[in-house]
């Protein structure tokens, strides 16, 4: 049976603000190429657009719920760009729920979505979508090249892992969003992946070779989180 994959792509990878159209076009080409071998869906993060809108909302007196709504809107704009590059042209009708995305996926499309409701991140959505479609693995395409014992950007002594268990990852990320030491994956997403025995492969989203290998389930330079 054809394997199913969910790619969770951070906004910081998708749209950092430098020649973003080139990366998004290349990513779309890669997804189209590998879609002959695996069934793919993608959840896009909000990155700095989300953070900027949330911060202006906060300055205007908006509460956390309202800030989340701006964050979600940004994730859907980012998803719209990738969706357009794939030739789907769903924007602005990007799936708003996991159920909607599952239905589209089952029709055979490369589904692209962003956030859903306030209170979690797009990693959490990626895990929910993975549960919904019965995915074999989640690809965490992020701005670090692997899972570390601590944030490698602030702690040069952080240990790098090539393979860990989901129980190890659960200990690393903590229980609440924001409590994570490495910030590598949303704790809610980890819990869902553990419950459904879905492996999580963390790779740098701009490392084409590793991203491709992860999607195809081949050996990676990043971290393989074993959920079995």
Which residue ranges make up the site for ligand UTP (CB under 6 A)?
10-12, 45-47, 50, 68, 71-72, 75, 115-122, 125
Contact between residue 4 and residue 39 where contact means Cβ atoms under 8 Å apart? yes
Nearer to ligand UTP, 51 or 212 (CB): 51
Distance CA 118, CA 33 (A): 34
Nearer to ligand UTP, 3 or 96 (CB): 96
Q: Measured from the CB of residue 194, what is the shortest distance to ligand UTP in angstroms? A: 19
Nearer to ligand UTP, 24 or 50 (CB): 50
**43, β-bridge pairs:** 8, 113
How far from 88 is each of 26, 165, 189, CA to CA, in Å?
15, 36, 27
| Concatenated DSSP letters of 11-61 | HHHH-SSSSHHHHHHHHHHHHHHHTTTSEEEEEE--HHHHHHHHHHHHHTT
Q: Measured from the CB of residue 116, what is the shortest distance to ligand UTP in angstroms? A: 4
In the bound state, the residue with its beta carbon closest to ligand UTP is 71
Nearer to ligand UTP, 35 or 143 (CB): 143
Q: Measured from the CB of residue 1, what is the shortest distance to ligand UTP in angstroms? A: 29
Q: Measured from the CB of residue 142, what is the shortest distance to ligand UTP in angstroms? A: 7
Nearer to ligand UTP, 16 or 217 (CB): 16
Contact between residue 204 and residue 140 where contact means Cβ atoms under 8 Å apart? no
Contacts with 105 (C-beta within 8 Å, 6 or more apart), sequence order: 39, 41, 111, 129, 133
Q: Measured from the CB of residue 22, what is the shortest distance to ligand UTP in angstroms? A: 19
């Amino acid at each position: 049976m054809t394997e199913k994959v969910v790619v969770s792509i951070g906004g910081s990878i998708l749209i950092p603000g430098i020649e973003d159209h080139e990366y998004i076009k290349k990513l779309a080409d890669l997804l189209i190429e590998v879609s002959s071998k695996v069934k793919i869906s993608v959840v896009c993060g909000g990155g700095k657009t989300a953070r900027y809108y949330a911060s202006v909302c906060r300055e205007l007196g908006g509460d956390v719920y309202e800030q989340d709504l701006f964050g979600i809107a940004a994730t859907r704009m980012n998803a719209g760009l990738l969706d357009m590059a794939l030739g789907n042209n769903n924007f602005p009708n990007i799936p708003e729920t996991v159920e909607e995305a599952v239905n589209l996926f089952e029709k055979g499309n490369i589904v692209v979505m962003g956030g859903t409701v306030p209170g979690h991140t797009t990693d959490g959505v990626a895990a929910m979508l993975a549960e919904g479609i019965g995915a074999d693995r989640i690809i965490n395409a992020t701005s670090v090249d692997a899972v570390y014992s601590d944030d490698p950007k602030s702690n040069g002594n952080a240990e790098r892992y090539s393979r860990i268990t989901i129980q190890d990852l659960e200990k690393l990320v903590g229980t609440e969003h924001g409590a994570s030491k490495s910030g590598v994956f949303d704790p809610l997403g980890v819990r869902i992946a553990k419950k459904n025995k879905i492996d999580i492969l963390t790779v740098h989203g701009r490392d084409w070779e590793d991203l491709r290998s992860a999607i195809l389930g081949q050996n990676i330079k990043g971290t393989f989180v074993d959920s079995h």
